[in-house]
Amino acid sequence: MKKRSIYRDTDCFDPQTVRWVYLCREHGISTATLHHWKAKYGGLEASQLKPIKELEKENGKLKRMYADVSIQCDAFKDLIEKNFNPWREKTS
């Protein structure tokens, strides 16, 4: 059985859409990603986009820092519970 291309149907053939599909394939992204980016950054110019990207980068850095600190906090809590538990039986 021969596979049919979805672009052969005259009902859904739109040259603009086909152009975007080929561009997405060429750059290795999905059309869903393209639509997401268009919704997020559609009306912005390059000068407006730069501060947003910097804030997103800083936000990611702060999230990683918070994750590291929370892991250290949990480790210290476990250590304190293990070493300074007054109801713990002594092994000596």
For residue range 28-62, what is the model confidence (pLDDT) as tens digits?
888 888 888 888 888 888 888 899 999 999 999 99
Predicted pLDDT at 85: 66
Residue 22 pLDDT greater than 70, yes or no: yes
pTM confidence score: 0.51
Is 90 a member of any domain?
Answer: no
Asked if 31 and 21 touch (Cβ cutoff 8 Å), the reply is yes
DSSP 44: -
- The CA distance from 37 to 11, in Å, is 27
Domain assignment present for 66: yes
Residue 67 is assigned to a structural domain of this protein: yes
Higher pLDDT, 73 or 25: 73
Same domain (yes/no): 48, 75: yes
Domain total for the chain? Answer: 2
| The dihedral formed by the CA atoms of 55, 61, 63 and 69, expressed in degrees to the nearest 10 | -150
Tell me the CA distances in angstroms from 37 to 5, 40, 46, one per residue in order: 26, 5, 14
Residues 27 and 60 in one domain: no
Same domain membership, residue 80 and residue 67: yes
- Whether residue 92 is contained in a domain is answered as no
**What is the extent of the structural domain holding 18?**
1-43
